[in-house]
Amino acid sequence: MKRIIFIFGFVVIFGVTIAQNARIKIDLDRTIGQIDPNLYGNFVEHLGRCVYGGIYEPGSPLSDANGYRKDVLEAVKGLNVSLVRYPGGNFVSNYNWLDGVGPVRKPRMDYAWQRLETNLFGTNEFAEWCKLVGTEPFMCVNLGTGTIQEAQAWVEYSNANSGSYYSALRKEHGFEKPHNIKYWALGNEMDGPWQMGHLNAEDYVKKAREASKLMRLVDPSIKIIAAGSSNYGRDADPYHWNRSILEGLYPNIDYIALHMYVGNRENNYYDFVTAPMTMETRTQTVRNMINEQQLRTNKRTPVYIAWTEYNVWYRAREGADAVGINALEERYNLEDALVVAGFLNVFVRNADIIKMANMAQLVNVIAPIFTNESGLFLQTIYYPLQLFAQNVKGTSLDVLVDSPVYKSNLSANESNIRPSQQSEVPYLDVSASIDGNEIVICVVNRNKDNAITTDIISQEGSFTGNFEVYEVNGPDIKSMNDFDVTNVKTTKKANINAKGQKIQYAFAPHSFTMLKGKINK
């Protein structure tokens, strides 16, 4: 008689573990919302080698006549980046934008990251770089040590056509036409005591309200992002902060910005890959606050959520690794890429309320692109972001996922830890989108050791034609990339010949997979 034991959704027969089947059910009538292209944004800060030696390196044989790294430009274009947040980050809270424009630049000490800032790269260089990339600039004003008048003047310099002091100054600097920058953030991480010019919630609301008023007097068309929670330490109260910002600024803002970094300090794979579930919980909490405030104000359109900083960050976070020219040069492995894919699934599953996201950061500094003086390589986290940005669009679908589960401590490995709780976690993490009759299904298989054979079922309509299959994977969860070494990448697998209402596919262990094909209703 064979001995059969059921353990966390698996069948064990004579000590051999075989994954049970899972189901993904798709109903085209169950929609969540439109997927905003701004979910695929990024972030450039004056920090380490993100700007100098990253996107900008005058005199390098790899740069164009204006100093922009051509190889980095092409790698950024491959990510289909929709908008780029600039110039910080903690850097911005002691930054005067006037130091970075005009023929004579003023070097200043950057006290956030403990280095000298030459200011050779500033507003105009960034705006021109955005044009080359084909992305939209997103500016963050200094509401730390800066004044509301500085914020107003920056909008005027960037967006006013003519007839004012700062528009004339821009023209004097060689830029006749305005940059027409649409997105403006009211400071960075103002809830964090690490921030220069840190304010409590009430004082931040007062300063941000007046800044937004002045900025919109210059250009009423701009979209404004308030600084929501970034501090989830044991002594912080992010719920009070977010509620205060929404109550005090609701008519004045278009987005509330949230930040989240995670890590695997305890080297516990299964706890680590649950991190996107915490992001989803925080999203739902702020969504409920937004809904409450919308009812109170009778505002037709909601304030949306913008995850303006998110990533894995824990290795290069402290001491010498956090300051100077090589600050925050995190090297990523496969498990990090799976977490990033999970974050992207969260954005798509909440596409009705999350309308902006910015991976932090773009080059060298906790980044998908890593350079040296002679070239670059693509880190593991580049590949899931690329697949989403190039393919996931249209309308997000509310899919049913029936997957084996495992027990895990949620939030156990966040970079700023709150008490964790044990919960059941599905091995399969799924999002789906429909654009016309093209459907894209994105699946992270968190199972480290086993494939999960899955029935993908259409409730109404039929799958048809060849489904393309793309998989991000590597030899093991610790696999990393380096110069001339690519262990983790996107691999195109054999197409699935689809016909009828069901597709079956075995999702490989520790993988992110994207299926792309047609469905006829």
Which positions are catalytic?
189, 309
Q: Yes or no: say if 402 and 408 are a contact pair by the CB < 8 Å rule.
A: no
Q: Yes or no: say if 439 and 516 are a contact pair by the CB < 8 Å rule.
A: yes
Rounded distance between C-alpha atoms, residue 343 and residue 277, angstroms: 8
Rounded distance between C-alpha atoms, residue 383 and residue 261, angstroms: 19
Token pair, residue 246, equals 């929404």
Q: Yes or no: say if 517 and 463 are a contact pair by the CB < 8 Å rule.
A: yes
Whether cis (ω within 30° of 0) applies to the bond prior to 517 is no
Phi then psi for residue 193, to 5 deg, are -65, -15
**Residue 43's Cα: distance from chain center in Å?**
9
Token pair, residue 47, equals 């920090």
Instruction: Give the alpha-carbon dihedral of 460, 464, 470, 473, to 10 degrees.
Output: 60
**What single DSSP character describes residue 188?**
S
In DSSP terms, 262 is beta-bridged to: 312, 414
In DSSP terms, 376 is beta-bridged to: 371
In the numeric block, the tokens 């590597």 are attached to: 474
Helix 238-249 to helix 201-218 angle, to the nearest 10 degrees? 40
- b (16+ CB within 10 A) / e for 115-127: bebbbebbbbbbb
In angstroms, what CA-CA distances link 368 with 79, 337, 361, 441?
10, 10, 8, 23
Which H helix or E strand runs over 158?
helix 148-159
Helix 123-133 to helix 70-78 angle, to the nearest 10 degrees? 60
Rounded distance between C-alpha atoms, residue 469 and residue 318, angstroms: 40
Rounded distance between C-alpha atoms, residue 144 and residue 94, angstroms: 7
Minimal CA–CA distance to 381: which of 367, 395, 370?
367
